[in-house]
Amino acid sequence: MDSVRLPTAPSSLRSQMLGQPLHHIPLPPCNRNLRLKPVIGINLSGNHVSPVAVITRDETSVAPLASPQPRLKVSPSSLQYPAGYLGAVPERASDPENGSIAEAMEYLTNILSTKVYDVAIETPLHLAKKLSERLGVRLFLKREDLQPVFSFKLRGAYNMMVKLPAEQLAKGVICSSAGNHAQGVALSAAKLGCTAVIVMPRTTPEIKVFRIMPYETTSVSPLASPQPRLKVSPSSLQYPAGYLGAVPERTSDSENGSIAEAMEYLTNILSTKVYDVAIETPLHLAEKLSERLGVRLFLKREDLQPVFSFKLRGAYNMMVKLPAEQLAKGVICSSAGNHAQGVALSAAKLGCTSVIVMPRTTPEIKWQSVENLGATVVLVGDSYDEAQAFAKQRAEEEGLTFIPPFDHPDVIAGQGTVGMEITRQAKGPLHAIFVPIGGGGLIAGIASYVKRVCPEVKIIGVEPADANTMALSLHHGERVILDQVGGFADGVAVKVVGEETFRISRKLVDGVVLVTRDAICASIKVTTLVIRFVTIAPA
């Protein structure tokens, strides 16, 4: 039997941790097909949401452990000892009731007879080899991040809910949570076929809201700002082309920088199925341009994708995770170009119907290429905003799933596979990755991967000077809306960036370079010379 002695705390607290030697268990492929499908009520006004049953053993019971006395309020500083030392060792009560065999058997029986594996998986123990060598012990990590909701919380929620009487379950369940418990309750409700109401604070990060939102777009995000979006002009932030600006001020919000969130994106990217339909594109060394600039400059050849753009990655990554019954109803999106083709090809691959809503001003060659992929094209309105409004309304009326072009964690993670490929393909040191920005999905995805595995690499955005939405948002510290947007590079002509893409960019992107129309034209010319034939897909 191996033993590990912990350092002695100042108050002479000592303990010894004993355990049998464990063996490394190889990681199984992670099941990412499980999706959440709850009914959600977001409490924005402080009023009660729809009447449903609260999760209890008895409809009228009161928690027997609720103390009649006011809870003792203390400061964290009232108990402090050196980090890494063992403290707060409880005094064992001599009350035989507390240590009764009957009570112990009740918990053991409950655990051994649980049905949590109807929805959860048995996660592996992962041997941390390098850390074990460094510490001189055998250190294992219990991989609960591989659960369908990336947390152990699913286990407890389902274990309680599966034991509810049928009549109580039929009334629905409700919980309050800003994260993992919410996902556990939501997925458990979907598994058990009951409704779930999740009450979340207004401050909940949007990535967490996304994880519990049903695909029917009927819920309201608690992050919706009661204040009007700041409207600004592109000319209000200008600096010389090629210079780095709009360097974001890093937020100290610990939740935004949590390891759990980083692992969620990494796990999503590493376990993606985008290669069912997309290809791993090469890094092309631009030799002449590299010699001219005195650097090693590579081009990521996303123009070689089946739809000539990276957009296929994000669309497929979201769609392949939809439940079969949801996919059978079909999908819908609004787009004037590359995203439309990505959704159409993904739908053809997955065997579902797709409706693509495009502005009437869309060039015929674009909507015909979408039709050729088997999608139904609907031309509506004179702008993207009108097309999007129509698509969302039709999605709600017909039960279709709306596939957003950039502002969804699964779409972002799909685009993040570009960053994964770059880090794997790069030969020699990698100093910076320059990424075009429209709504922000590509740069958010690349940054989510690269900044976690190669934090020293700079992630730099590139925007047209007259469509500098992300630069202005980073400059102001909040998402802004452009009063007008230049359409020369129509693929990145976006008035407002995504909520989630902005949050990630503010945390991980190192700044934005602005380029003029002349610079864009010059780069097209140079790229054409570097590669004999290339289809430019700026967004």
List 435's β-bridge partners, or say none.
Answer: 461
**Structural domain tally of the chain?**
3
Domain stops at, among 224, 255, 276: 224
> Which DSSP state fits 381?
S
Distance CA 181, CA 162 (A): 16
68: exposed, middle or buried (Cβ count in 10 Å: 0-12, 13-18, 19+): exposed
pLDDT digits (tens, 9 = 90+) for 246-276: 788 765 543 444 566 677 888 889 989 999 9
Mean pLDDT of the chain: 78
CATH code where residue 481 lies: 3.40.50.1100
Residue 90 lies in a domain: no
Among candidate residues 198, 224, 250, the one where a domain is terminated = 224
Same domain, 147 and 167: yes
Select the more confidently predicted residue: 14 or 292: 292
User: Quick check: 171 and 52 in contact, CB under 8 A?
Assistant: yes
Is the pLDDT assigned to residue 315 strictly greater than 90?
Answer: yes
Eight-state DSSP code of residue 446 = H
Exposed, middle or buried, 532 (CB in 10 Å: 0-12/13-18/19+)?
exposed
Give the pLDDT confidence of 329-341 residue by residue, as tens digits.
999 999 878 999 9
> Rounded to the nearest 5 degrees, what angle is found at the Cα of 158, between the Cα atoms of 155 and 162?
145
Contact between residue 374 and residue 347 where contact means Cβ atoms under 8 Å apart: yes
Give a yes or no: residue 418 inside a domain. Answer: yes
pLDDT at 71 over 70: yes
User: Which pLDDT band, with edges at 50, 70 and 90, does 436 fall under?
Assistant: very high
Q: What pLDDT score does 535 carry?
A: 43
In a domain? residue 113: yes
- Per residue in 482-508, pLDDT (tens digit) is 888 777 877 777 888 989 999 999 999
Lowest mean pLDDT among 119-123, 421-425, 427-431, 534-538: 534-538
Q: Which domain holds residue 432?
A: 230-308+409-530
Q: What is the pLDDT of residue 275?
A: 96
Please indicate, yes or no, whether residues 386 and 456 belong to a single structural domain of this protein: no
- Which of 402, 422, 445 is the endpoint of a domain? 402
20: pLDDT strictly greater than 80:
no
Q: What are phi and psi of 515, to 5 degrees?
A: -130, 145
Min mean pLDDT across 80-89, 307-316, 397-406 is at: 80-89
364 shares its domain with 504: no
Q: Say which range, 20-34, 106-120, 299-313, 519-533, has the weakest mean pLDDT.
A: 20-34
pLDDT of residue 375: 93
Tens of pLDDT, residues 165-199: 888 888 889 988 877 888 888 888 888 988 888 88
Q: What is the pLDDT of residues 194-250, one digit of tens each?
A: 888 888 877 676 666 766 664 232 233 444 444 567 777 777 777 777 777 778 876
Q: At what angle do helices 441-453 and 259-270 cross, to 10 degrees?
A: 110
pLDDT in tens, 345-395: 999 999 999 999 988 888 888 889 999 999 999 998 877 778 888 998 899
- Express as a percent the part of the chain with pLDDT over 70: 76
Cα distance between residue 94 and residue 97, in whole Å = 9
Looking at residue 196, its pLDDT comes to 86
**459 DSSP β-pair partners:** 433
Longest pairwise C-alpha distance within the chain: 84
β-strand pairing of 376-379 with 354-358: parallel
